[in-house]
Structure 1
């Protein structure tokens, strides 16, 4: 994974250096093990890569609160959220394979609902079969992602776009760069399998549209 633009920052008052952003991006490179080489995970439709509407310049924002659960009705994801930080060597912690059916929130960035891009990652598959984000590529603009938080609020996000990108050209600034609204990014592996790993990442971009009690 190339070193990203050093201007990439998380929101919510937490600084993300260029090096840290690269390590986070690199973590998404090991989220797939190609258990499904014959068909592979669903790929985003070309039209899904185009935002349904203009990216918001503002919108609702919530105070910080640790996320505990994510629900994505369209693809049947209902997962408790693990928290991931950085390992002692500075690389992002990878979700354990024993928890491949659970998604994980990167806890050094904004919490879902805060201003900035909250990042949630998950495995696409393992040797045993599809994992939590196997169907991520099926999402379309307008689909809903609900994140339940410790404060009892459910942050509702609308999907803006879905894309598959090469790991060699991971869009670090687009994923982790500064934004003025409460955003969300869902990341897993995707694209072609080269015999050893997936060559790309599937990335979902969305924005907060509201909140409700749990």
Structure 2
């Protein structure tokens, strides 16, 4: 994506991509009934929690790594595009510990909504976002960037959205104009072994609240 593209254009591309993503993205391998945690079916809001003020957006820079201390995630980030069916192409299953960043949209830390995707499981084991639904408002997500800066995001809410009634604009559009926001997405809800897919998506919404190096 060109750095000269306007924030509005980036937002429209992101929403358009997620409309396609709804029918094309698969982030789970199979049901892991014998393992703790896993995809959930509820929503966690920030009610009663004092969240920090937003930090001003940063200059655009590519992400290298994402750290989520609360769920033990420390993973490399790789750029992903759209597949032949115009859906966001997640990392391959053999790279289940890798997080994909939709490189056609916003860079994390810049104004707009950056999108990270990751698998919840594979055929044999949990994947990088297996415990994503356990995140709570106020917890931190840290993204190391190519310009040697660290963008620190604070979780605002966690939603489990059923695919049959999915609203891409509500899920992935900016919550507040002018902020740098981040979405982390994986599969959730009930697993259907017949279609080998989950009934919902876990969507974590976070926003930039600090920086470091």
TM-score > 0.5, shorter chain as reference: yes
Equivalent residues in 2 for 1:17-166, closer than 5 Å: 19-28=16-25, 30-38=26-34, 41-43=38-40, 46=43, 48-50=44-46, 52=49, 59-166=55-162
Q: 1:80 to 1:93 in 2, by over 3 A?
A: same
> Normalized against structure 1, the TM-score is what?
0.84
Secondary structure of 2:106's counterpart equals coil
Are 1:44 and 1:139, in contact at CA under 8 Å, matched by a contact in 2? no
Q: Residues 12-31 of structure 1: CA distance to partner in whole angstroms, max 9, x if unpaired?
A: 75241764331234444x10
In the TM superposition, residue 177 of structure 1 has moved relative to its aligned partner by 1.8
Q: 1:121 to 1:212 in 2, by over 3 A?
A: same
Q: 1:190 to 1:55 in 2, by over 3 A?
A: farther
Are 1:35 and 1:128, in contact at CA under 8 Å, matched by a contact in 2? no
Matched, 1:199 2:196: no
Please give the alpha-carbon distance, in whole angstroms, between the structure 2 residues aligned to 1:16 and 1:198.
25
Please give the alpha-carbon distance, in whole angstroms, between the structure 1 residues aligned to 2:83 and 2:64.
21
In the TM superposition, residue 121 of structure 1 has moved relative to its aligned partner by 0.5
Please give the alpha-carbon distance, in whole angstroms, between the structure 1 residues aligned to 2:203 and 2:60.
23
Q: CA RMSD in A?
A: 2.4
Are 1:97 and 1:126, in contact at CA under 8 Å, matched by a contact in 2? yes
Q: 1:166 to 1:22 in 2, by over 3 A?
A: same
For structure 2, the 5+ residue unaligned runs are 1-5
Aligned length: 201
Q: Residues 117-146 of structure 1: CA distance to partner in whole angstroms, max 9, x if unpaired?
A: 111000000101100000001100000000
Secondary structure of 1:126's counterpart equals coil
In the TM superposition, residue 212 of structure 1 has moved relative to its aligned partner by 0.5
> Normalized against structure 2, the TM-score is what?
0.84
Secondary structure of 1:184's counterpart equals strand
Give the match for residue 13 of structure 2.
16
Please give the alpha-carbon distance, in whole angstroms, between the structure 2 residues aligned to 1:112 and 1:44.
27
